[in-house]
Amino acid sequence: MNGPRRDPALVNPYAPGAGTKPPVMVGRETQLSVVDGAARQVEAGRRPPHLVLTGLRGVGKTVLIREALAGLRERGWLCGYCEVRRDVEVGVALGTILADGAALLPRRKKLAAAVRHMTATIGSVTFSAAPDGTIGISVAPNREGGAAPDAYRAALRLFRDLGQAARDDGAGVALGLDELQSMRRKDATTLLQALEADEAEDTRILLLGAGLPTTPTELSKSRTYAERFRYEPLDDLTVHEARRAVEEPSKALGVAWEADALERVIGLAHGYPYFLQLYASESWETSAPSAVVTSEDVEQAIPRVKRSLDHGLYGTRWQRASQLERQYLIAMAQLMTKTGAQVARSGDVARTMGRDLSDLSAIRDRLIQKGVIHSPASGRIQFSVPGFGEFVIARSTDETGP
């Protein structure tokens, strides 16, 4: 092979995995600045401005929330992360957050001392600290009769104890809760009530959440207090941001991108962060051992990306859909193919299926909750990831016949 060659020891710098931090964080400076501003308000003794990052899957919410928590830890905060699961009580979520953050606190801190002496029972969940500072979590079996412990009051006591220690340290406590849209209504109500109770005080407890675009609506159903949170949307990257995300990691390793190859990847990804990492990663592999990624390398990578998506991101979404949900997706894809648009009207989908709009509202809502589609405006829907419509069309023969 002619031309410069890369060092064979170089490792692929791109990170297309779920929740994996990309080598270069671009396009999220605004959100990180908002977190920094919230931290300064808490440290100044002002009411915590709770913050929730929203966006479709694959735009980097998990990466960003972890990055924000890491920055708060550097300020001396008690910070922990928990991915919400629908069947997990709020007590488990809070215990997981404390267990995640406690080990990283300097032992001289008042917060560290408070955690080492902490015991709390929230609902059926008890968590307490061992002498080495680690947190143990236990869940009691279902009670036979009798009143369950008041989870709200227990959570409120926990927040007040941690808040006092954080004030003494001049720091704060950040509750990193991912997939917030999945939290059960009663658990979200408990959490929000406890956060709201001391709203006018110097509580030092900051909710730093993340979830799908439906999260603001879901949280406000539990407590209207959530309407006053700050919701920061994460959008697709601009062309300039996408160019940096692809070019800078390889440039740092001495591998260049031809201009046409770079623009081709940007066009294929449509600014979608996960696709940028995936196309760049596969193009890097096909270009080896050259020190230049060419347009030919990108074209050779496309079938590899397609196989990955068909058996992964696209395929799993299709497999999880019910028969009627698949029919809805097929109708959406057919409409978009016919009109050349990326958005369809809910009413048009219903007419295509020969059904009343009201009959399909539950199907539409389930697909939105699953993150397969979303509603950018009232009465309009679109697929949540680029290219999924084409995948659906390719699979529609299996559902509708020739």
59-73: pLDDT as tens digits: 999 999 999 999 999
| Separation between Cα atoms, residue 106 and residue 110, nearest integer Å | 9
Give the whole-angstrom CA distance, residue 152 versus residue 13. 46
Burial letters 153-176, b for 16+ CB under 10 A, else e: ebbbebbbebbbbbbebebbbbbb
Residues of the chain with CATH 1.10.8: 239-311
Confidence (pLDDT) at 199: 59
pLDDT of residue 61: 95
Q: Looking at the domain that runs over 314-400, which CATH code has it been given?
A: 1.10.10.10
CB contact set of 12 (below 8 Å; sequence gap of 6+): 281, 284, 285
Beta bridge partners of 119: 128
Which regions of the chain are under pLDDT 50? Answer: 145-147, 402
What pLDDT is attached to residue 399? Answer: 53
What is the reported pLDDT for 137? 86
Architecture per CATH, domain 239-311, reads as: Orthogonal Bundle (1.10)
Query: What pLDDT is recorded for position 146?
Result: 45
Name residue, tokens 């009530």: 193
- Model pLDDT, residue 328: 96
d(CA 351, CA 25): 43
3-state secondary structure of 270: coil
Q: Where in the chain is the domain with CATH 1.10.10.10?
A: 314-400
Written out in words, the top-level CATH class of the domain with range 29-233 is: alpha beta
pLDDT at position 191:
94
Q: Determine the pLDDT at residue 147.
A: 46
Parts of the chain belonging to CATH 3.40.50.300: 29-233
d(C-alpha 101, C-alpha 174), whole Å: 9
